[in-house]
Structure 1
Amino acid sequence: MNIIFEKTFQRAFGTYPLKGNTLSDAIRAAIAAGYRAFDTAQMYGNEDATGAALADSGIARDELCITTKVGIENFTAEFFLPSVEASLNALRVDQVDVLLLHWPDPSVDNRKSLELLQQALDRGMTRNIGVSNYTARMMRDAVAISDAPLVVNQVEFHPLLDQSTLIAASIETGIPLSSYCSVARGEVFRHDIFAEIGRGYGKSAAQVVLRWILQKGVPINTMSTKPENIRANFDVMDFTLSAIDMARIDAMNATNYRIVDRKLVPYAPAFD
């Protein structure tokens, strides 16, 4: 089974943009809530704090799924593997569970970075490899380039954005998607439909959104610093949205609200 689809790991705790004691406190709350999957990145500047908090948690290493991402500044033969080694040292582990390319290569040719990612896998620095922010075309190209299976393409995914093209590419290529910006950084709360649907299940608007993502077959990454919200974001496995409610939420895709684009990240690709 793909590691991110293991039951406990379908719900990951994202660490961006947390640092220091704020991050440590949030990870402690996440561990207490039941989270065992944690997502960080070189770019976040918090691998050290994440590693320390997980090491202090007392949770056995084999119960954790740790994901980190290589930044584009390290997409060279000189820097790639040393940067991964630095990430492992910061995270206090011998290998991560999932190593991702954080962004497509700005050159638009992803072959070299994918080959370097494969080298990290071959050297035992990670159990699995994947990508993030790849377009459908890039997913198809990556499958042709990579000798090893890519276990995920981590992308912006929430009900206010139509990602049907990526869903189709996921089915075609066998590369699963996982979500970031799962509640659209709070934008979903401006739409009454999610709270309205939630009342019928005794759940919050956020829980409805997260459950919708899971029922689309997409694992979720969520972040909060409030223990009550951390627990609520994890508590989304005890109800199932009806087909009618799923369809109502699907219709919200037409909002076409995208957070991460070239205005925010200049080297972002032209997304589908």
Structure 2
Amino acid sequence: MEYLQTQGISLPRLGLGTFRMQGDACRAAVESALGLGYRHIDTAEMYGNEEAIGAAIAASRVARSELHVTTKVWNENLAPDAIRRAFDTSLKKLRLDRIDLYLVHWPAKNMNLPAMFETLMKLKAEGRTRAIGVANFNIALLKTVVEQIKAEIACNQVEYHVMLDQTPLRQYMASKSIPLVAYCPLAQGRAAADATLTAIGRKHGATAAQVALKWLLDQDGVAAIPKASRPESQKSNLGALNVGLDDEDMQAIAGLPKDRRCVNPGFAPAWD
């Protein structure tokens, strides 16, 4: 497994996304992933599965030092006191001594960014989370956090895949040495069904999904967190690390539509 070094943490470049996984099924999926060698588990307060993930981690006997766990505070809990309450609840449910990476899940219209990041930076200073970051922040919001508040953020987690161009955002983040963690890296199944990716995969003895994941992982400063509940899917996603894409493949992928955004709730920021 390759790692990204960011703000004092080592972030495995391929992790397990757990959105919409619940209860025993979620616990089984995380136990399976840890057994296969995954060491990066991504969850959130809003997913309602932190208890199941905590149980899976406890049962796994994976050394805590080997494990990276990301969780997130929901956008209704961005007042300083609410952040602390949400953090405490997440930590308890996950049964951990500390969080590895704590993110603001989505920006909110009425948020007080300086107060939010003062609280988050205190949680880090107290050793309760090893690093802090954001998700779903556009360039304008990132500039405020990084250039005005001067918060040291370990990543911005955003939707990114072969069918969605994120070049301006990536360029800004690269200029500030901020990694991008790609969620929906398979475009909610669209990548796996794409004829161009299927043809590239056939050439390399790989699946279309593996091609889509390797396209992301071949980019500097990018990690990916595909959701996979079945062991065979988890294993297949790990296999993406062994796919080698050539210039012809990259040109074909560049020709795919790049405007297919899968996640765009009403409270999303104005995407750049």
Query: TM-score band (shorter)?
Result: over 0.9
2:254 partner amino acid = D
Q: 1:79-158 alignment to 2 at 5 Å?
A: 79-107=82-110, 110-158=113-161
1:174 is aligned, of 177, 200, 204, to 177
2:6–2:178 contact (8 Å) kept in structure 1: no
Q: 1:241-260 alignment to 2 at 5 Å?
A: 241-252=245-256, 254-260=257-263
Could you say if the C-alpha distance between residues 135 and 4 of structure 1 is closer, same or farther in structure 2, counting changes exceeding 3 Å? farther
In the alignment, what sits opposite 2:71? 68
Distance 2:239 2:134 in 1: 27
2:233 is aligned, of 225, 229, 236, to 229
In the alignment, what sits opposite 2:268? 268
Distance 2:240 2:148 in 1: 36
Deviation at 1:146, TM superposition (A): 4.3
1:11 partner amino acid = L
1:185 is aligned, of 185, 188, 203, to 188
2:216–2:224 contact (8 Å) kept in structure 1: yes
2:186–2:212 contact (8 Å) kept in structure 1: yes
Deviation at 1:240, TM superposition (A): 2.1
Map Cα deviations across residues 233-253 of structure 1 (whole Å, 9 max, x no partner): 11222232112212321232x
1:17–1:44 contact (8 Å) kept in structure 2: yes
4+ runs of 1 displaced by more than 6 Å? none
Distance 1:260 1:30 in 2: 25
Map Cα deviations across residues 2-23 of structure 1 (whole Å, 9 max, x no partner): 27984x7111101111011110
Using the size of structure 1 for normalisation, the TM-score is: 0.93
For structure 2, the residue ranges without an aligned partner over 5 or more in a row are none
Using the size of structure 2 for normalisation, the TM-score is: 0.93
In the alignment, what sits opposite 1:238? 242
Deviation at 1:141, TM superposition (A): 1.5
| Percent identity of paired positions between Structure 1 and Structure 2 | 35
Distance 1:236 1:129 in 2: 28
In the alignment, what sits opposite 1:28? 31
For structure 1, the residue ranges without an aligned partner over 5 or more in a row are none
Could you say if the C-alpha distance between residues 99 and 58 of structure 1 is closer, same or farther in structure 2, counting changes exceeding 3 Å? same
Q: Does the residue aligned with 1:248 lie in a helix, a strand or coil?
A: helix
Deviation at 1:77, TM superposition (A): 2.1
Deviation at 1:109, TM superposition (A): 5.0
1:219 is aligned, of 219, 223, 228, to 223
